[in-house]
Each structure stands twice: as structure tokens, then as C-alpha cells.
């Protein structure tokens, strides 16, 4: 009998990569989608698996839809990727962010507890929970949380309720504390994709400049396709646990932009960038850098795509996409 998995947030960036991996491993994959009338399959089309997934209608803010799905399919594994994941919007929609990212996770865990207690659960936790600058210069499983956005705060609740249900009810629930990961199907407003899309537009004469906010923060950027392997591995362990997943390297937004422009053959890149206060955040996360030793040792995981390869992959994909149009 093949294993079954439910992926929430399947239409986002990580969902398609994870679904592809699980399908390759012989899983039957269910994907929860909220806009059943008009779903956007673009990212699933990109990885070529749109017709291989079974779709179920549900919303993280609608507990009855979550209960119905879990009760009906009782999957072996649930990967909870659904979220209002854009940090910038979380100040504008703080309550909705909390309802989806925090209370939605509680609904999923209750559905598992009451209707499918053998289901293994993966929670998409985040380096954004670490927030402020840490004197050690890196973050790992022992680093304190000090979130700096309503998004980060909502994810801290989700992290701890995942731990609490493990400790209270002996459920198999694991947190992957993932650092930033990107790809050609990254949402267009996240800074890496905004930069690579903007560069392609400038290169092809479709735009004159690129508006960005704070160029100083540093991020530990990896490739999404590598990170979904860590998610899968966490649920194959004998015991549930929490793991930091990242590359251990970081770069500033400025360094990313410089490399991406350079790769596209534009050396005088600074003249195209307009610093726009609209994109600055009320509170910033200055420096994220992982120490992923635990994941590397316990899961045998390591990133395969380097920073340079990632930048190249994203610039190439946006140039190709816009050239076709
Ligand atoms: P993403 O591209 O923003 O995808 C999130 C998905 O969640 C979207 O498909 C969205 O559906 C769905 N969703 C939003 N609200 C929902 C609701 N109320 N009910 C059901 N589904 C809902 O995010 P991602 O980059 O793939 O990240 C996956 C997860 O990992 C997220 O939880 C994110 O917070 C977390 N994470 C991401 C990173 C990263 O660097 N990418 C790092 C750490 C953690 P629609 O398509 O309908 O909008
Ligand atoms: N989005 C955006 N747009 N960010 C900008 C811009 C801009 O024009 N200009 C500068 N930045 C800076 C932000 O202030 C932030 O410091 C950094 O670029 C990265 O922003 P994002 O790409 O939006 O990602 P994030 O780090 O805030 O959040 C992502 O990573 C988290 C993991 O650390 C998201 O994927 C979260 O969902 C995820 O949890």
C-alpha cells in the first residue's frame, strides 16, 4: 500500500516541489486548496505535476473544512505549508495572519488528535521567529525567539503548539525551522524574485528601474527544491523533533542584487535601483544565518544548490519567461 500525504499550501512555492518529491517516492498526494472556484496552478504546472495530485477544498481559517479533510482521508503524513507568508503584509493584516498561521495550526492538530492520531505532522516553522540580531552571529535549535513581525509572532505560536501537542498527546509532530529558500516559482513580491524579475524586465527594455527597500539585511538563502527533502526526512525519523534547515552562509540584499545584475551582464547596476521607503518595514530582521548541524547529522541532509547557482537559476528563468511573453 502506498503512503498518503496531505499538503496544505500546495499552490505556493514549496508545495509543488514537495508534492513532486512525494509522488516520485510513490505517495498518493492530496493538496488542500482554498479558492476552489479559481485555483492558480501555475507553480504546479511549472514542476509538471498538476494532474497527479488530488485536490481537496479547505481553508486554514475554517475549522470544519480541516476536520472533514483529516477525518475523511486520515493520511499517513500532513505537511502544513499553508500560511499568509509575506512578512511585509503581516503588519497590514495582523489578525488574519494570526488566524491562518497560528489558530489554523491548532485546528489541524486538533483534527489529528481526535480523528487521526497516527498521522505524522510537519509544521513549516521559520527563521523569522529568531528576529533580532544574535551575538553568536548564527541561529540554531537552542537560539531564543524574538520575532519582529506579526508574521513571526504567529509562527512562534504555531511552533510551540506543535511542540505542546507532541508532549501532551504523544503525537508525531515536528517543526522544520527553515531559513529563506527561493526558486523560479518564488512569489513575485519576495525580494529575490522581485530582483530577478526586475532585472529581466530592465534587460529586455520592459522597465527602467527597480524599487527596493532596505538593502542591508542579510539572509541565509537556499534552493526550495533542496529544502523539501529535509521536510520529508523529518517525518521519516523514528521520533518527532525540531530542526534548523539552512545553508550556514548569508548575504545582504545588496550582495544578492549585485550578483544577479552582474549575471545578467549589467555592471552599473546601482543606477537602476531606487530606494523606496514604501518597502521598508516597521521592524527589521537584520541578520539570519543558520547553524544546520543537527539536520545534517540526524537527517543526513545538506543543500545541493549553491548561492551562485540559485541566483543564476532565478535570473535565467525570469529572462526566459519574459522573453517568451
Ligand atoms: P507561499 O508561496 O506563500 O505559499 C503559501 C500557500 O498557503 C499558498 O498556496 C496559499 O494559497 C496558502 N494559503 C494561504 N492562506 C491560506 C488559507 N487561509 N487556507 C489555506 N491555504 C492558504 O509560501 P512558501 O514559500 O511555499 O512557504 C511554505 C511555508 O513555509 C509557509 O508556511 C511559510 O510561512 C513557511 N516558510 C517559508 C520559507 C521560505 O523562505 N519560503 C521559510 C520558512 C518558512 P493561495 O495560493 O490560495 O494564496
Ligand atoms: N519583499 C521585499 N521587497 N523585501 C525587501 C525589499 C522589497 O522591495 N527591499 C528590501 N527588502 C528586504 C526586507 O526588508 C527583508 O529584510 C529582506 O529583504 C527579505 O525580505 P523577503 O524576501 O520578503 O523575505 P523575508 O525574509 O521577510 O521572509 C521570507 O523568509 C522567511 C524565513 O526567514 C518569507 O518566505 C517568510 O515566509 C519566511 O518565513
9 within ligand 1 shell (Cβ under 6 A): yes
Which class in CATH covers the domain with range 4-181+220-245? Answer: alpha beta
Q: How many CB atoms lie within 10 A of CB 25?
A: 13
84 touches 96 (CB < 8 A): yes
213 within ligand 2 shell (Cβ under 6 A): yes
> What are 80's strand-pairing partners?
8, 123
**187-219+251-286+306-324 CATH fold:** UDP-galactose 4-epimerase; domain 1 (3.90.25)
Query: Three-state SS for 289?
Result: coil
Catalytic residue among 27, 77, 97, 128: 128
Q: What is the pTM of this model?
A: 0.98
126 within ligand 2 shell (Cβ under 6 A): yes
Catalytic residue among 97, 126, 162, 196: 126
At 91, list the grid cell: 503588519
Q: What is the DSSP string of 114-177?
A: HH-TT-EEEEEEEGGGT-S--TTSSB-TTSPP---SHHHHHHHHHHHHHHHHHHHH---EEEEE
Nearest Cα residue to atom 6 of ligand 1: 9
290 touches 220 (CB < 8 A): yes
Q: Which of 13, 17, 154, 190 to mutate to test the pocket of ligand 2 (most atoms within 8 A of CB)?
A: 190
5 within ligand 2 shell (Cβ under 6 A): no
Domain edges within the chain: 4-181+220-245, 187-219+251-286+306-324
189 within ligand 2 shell (Cβ under 6 A): yes
Q: Is 151 a catalytic residue?
A: yes
Instruction: Compute the distance between CA of residue 107 and CA of residue 53 in angstroms, rounded to an integer.
Output: 23
* pLDDT, tens digit only, all 325 positions of the chain: 899 999 999 999 999 999 999 999 999 999 999 988 889 999 999 999 999 999 999 999 999 999 999 999 999 999 999 999 999 999 999 999 999 999 999 999 999 999 999 999 999 999 999 999 888 999 999 999 999 999 999 999 999 999 999 999 999 999 999 999 999 999 999 999 999 999 999 999 999 999 999 999 999 999 999 999 999 999 999 999 999 999 999 999 999 999 999 999 999 999 999 999 999 999 999 999 999 999 999 999 999 999 999 999 999 999 999 999 7
Query: Three-state SS for 80?
Result: strand
Instruction: Compute the distance between CA of residue 231 and CA of residue 115 in angstroms, rounded to an integer.
Output: 23
Element (H, E) at 45: helix 42-47
Q: Is 229 a catalytic residue?
A: no
Nearest Cα residue to atom 37 of ligand 2: 85
Amino acid at each position: 500500500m502506498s503512503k498518503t500525504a496531505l499538503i496544505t499550501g500546495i499552490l505556493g512555492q514549496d508545495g509543488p516541489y514537495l508534492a513532486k518529491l512525494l509522488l516520485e517516492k510513490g505517495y498518493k498526494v492530496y493538496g488542500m486548496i482554498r479558492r476552489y472556484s479559481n485555483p492558480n496552478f501555475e507553480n504546479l504546472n511549472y514542476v509538471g505535476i498538476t494532474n497527479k495530485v488530488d485536490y481537496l477544498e479547505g481553508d486554514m481559517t475554517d475549522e470544519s473544512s480541516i476536520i472533514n479533510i483529516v477525518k475523511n482521508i486520515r493520511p499517513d503524513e500532513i505537511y502544513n505549508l499553508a500560511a499568509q507568508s509575506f512578512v511585509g503584509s503581516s503588519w497590514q493584516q495582523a489578525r488574519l495572519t494570526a488566524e491562518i498561521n497560528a489558530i489554523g495550526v491548532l485546528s489541524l492538530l486538533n483534527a489529528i488528535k481526535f480523528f487521526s492520531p497516527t498521522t505524522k505532522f510537519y509544521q513549516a516553522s521559520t527563521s523569522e521567529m529568531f528576529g533580532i540580531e544574535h551575538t553568536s552571529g548564527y541561529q540554531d535549535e537552542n537560539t531564543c525567539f524574538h520575532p519582529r513581525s506579526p508574521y513571526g509572532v504567529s509562527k512562534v505560536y504555531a511552533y510551540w503548539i506543535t511542540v505542546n501537542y507532541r508532549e501532551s498527546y504523544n503525537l508525531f509532530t515536528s517543526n522544520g525551522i527553515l531559513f529563506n529558500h527561493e526558486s523560479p516559482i518564488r512569489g513575485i513580491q519576495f525580494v529575490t524574485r522581485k530582483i530577478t524579475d526586475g532585472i529581466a524586465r530592465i534587460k529586455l527594455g520592459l522597465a527602467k528601474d527597480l524599487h527596493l527597500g532596505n538593502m542591508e539585511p542579510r539572509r541565509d538563502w537556499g534552493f526550495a527544491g533542496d529544502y523539501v527533502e529535509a521536510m520529508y526526512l523529518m517525518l521519516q525519523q523514528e521520533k518527532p523533533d525540531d530542526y534548523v534547515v539552512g545553508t550556514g552562509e548569508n548575504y545582504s540584499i545588496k550582495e544578492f542584487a549585485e550578483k544577479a545584475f552582474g549575471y545578467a551582464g549589467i555592471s552599473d547596476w546601482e543606477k537602476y535601483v531606487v530606494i523606496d521607503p514604501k518597502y521598508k518595514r516597521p521592524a527589521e530582521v537584520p541578520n539570519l544565518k543558520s547553524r544546520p548541524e543537527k539536520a545534517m547529522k540526524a537527517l543526513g541532509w545538506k543543500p545541493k544548490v549553491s548561492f551562485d547557482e540559485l541566483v543564476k537559476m532565478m535570473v535565467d528563468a525570469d529572462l526566459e519567461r519574459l522573453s517568451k511573453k
